[in-house]
Amino acid sequence: MLRRAKADRTVVEERRAHRYDVNIEASIEYETVAQPVRLVNLSRRGFGAAGEIAPPTDAVVTLTIPGVCHAKARIAWKDGNNFGAEFLAPQRLFLIPDVVGPGTEAEPSNDDFR
């Protein structure tokens, strides 16, 4: 039991250590819906965003960051129009500077995914 708690804590700490606060216009597509969203945080394992309508929990979406990437993700949670998603395949960390912009340092966020 103690080993499990320690492993869970390590996963949470790792998740927090690699999340970056961002403010990026992107879009998502799922089922027959396509909508713009604003990314509020980004990591190699997932993202937090806000949109006009949050996709259903467990929906698989395609996130598009114009000129940077297309990635499939599963909606992990939603709260009003805010939601978080986990990438189906971890994304490469070098994409983060591409997303944030040249010459810009992204700041690691210590906040929860929400």
Q: What is the pLDDT of residue 87?
A: 93
pTM of the predicted protein model: 0.71
Domains annotated for the chain, with CATH where assigned, are 2-100 (2.40.10.220)
Taking 50 as the threshold, does the pLDDT of residue 101 lie above it? yes
When pLDDT is cut at 50, 70 and 90, the band that residue 93 belongs to is low
Q: Note the pLDDT tens digit of each residue in 26-46.
A: 999 999 999 999 999 998 899
C-alpha distances in angstroms, 107 versus 15, 44, 86?
14, 14, 20
Give 38's contacts (C-beta < 8 A, 6+ positions apart): 23, 24, 25, 26, 49, 50, 51
Q: Are 52 and 30 in contact (CB under 8 A)?
A: no
Q: What is the pLDDT of residue 2?
A: 45
